[in-house]
Amino acid sequence: MNVEAFDPRALRDAFGAFATGVTVVTANDAAGKPIGFTANSFTSVSLSPPLLLVCLAKTSRNYATMTETESFAVNILSETQKDISNTFARPVEDRFAAIDWRRAPNGSPIFSQVSAWFECSMRDVIEAGDHVIMVGRVTAFENSGLNGLGYARGGYFTPQLAAKAVSAAAGGEIRLGAVLERHGSVFLLGEETLSLPSCAGEGGDPAKTLARHLEQLTGLSVTIGFLYSVYEDKTDGRQHIVYHALASDGAPREGRFLAPADVTGAQFSNGATGDIVSRFVLESSIGNFGLYFGDETGGTVHPIAKKDART
């Protein structure tokens, strides 16, 4: 495709396929007031000298202050800090009001309970299209050992929680399923009685097994996203692992995509499937997803995804 024909939204979504951590970059303005913004465009650069970089949009409200500061900090958020990420990704007047934070040795704001933090002196600011690359030399850091918060394809994920859930489900016969969506519509099988696509767990990587099944079933390109539901169904004696997944455009070989309005009041193959679809319709309407962990009648939803993190 010619570069002039790139759809910016499609390109952003493609970039989003790369799973990252989530950080909040902080500094002080000319009056000494703390400022900060959420960023997932962060990476280490060098050990000797100790360098890192983070990207900042030129449209950011913090652009002038951040590019002129002599020092800044990068806070790598832990799995329990989704709310902090969301706070610093939105135009909130006082983002630090509800945050437990302190000053690093050179005065940059650092947060409590993060996975790690780095305070840096500004090494360079490099022009890069509609962003700048801020290169910092690390002058102080701390590593808590806490697992980091993940971000991919517009949603958060918590690696430790997902791993525990899958491990807990591995004690019996496993059935893999998917909430396969496209532009907000959900892929379902059946006519009068609807069901989610599923297949037997065959060992190995469940996400790859499920992706192969979905692509063979639909004839579409499928990307497996975050873990959505893990539960034991006592009626069939199986452990069910359900993922969120995205499908490419095109007519599926089997089944159909139904808009949320068309799903309301539909008859499903079992109560668990109906609950999963209903929860997905509700959560997608507010952009706040979670991982269900329990059985077919009751359990706990752990909030793990909010479509707000951005550079």
Q: Which amino acid is at 38?
A: T
pLDDT at 306: 43
pLDDT, tens digit, 9 for 90 and up, residues 203-261 = 667 878 888 999 999 999 998 877 788 887 878 778 888 988 889 999 999 999 999 98
pLDDT at 188: 96
pLDDT at 303: 63
pLDDT at 172: 59
Domains within the chain, CATH numbers bracketed: 18-152 (2.30.110.10), 158-306 (3.90.79.10)
pLDDT at 300: 76
Which residues of the chain are modeled with pLDDT < 50?
A: 1, 305-311
pTM of the model: 0.58
pLDDT at 149: 83
Q: Residue 6, Cα to own-chain centre: how many angstroms?
A: 24
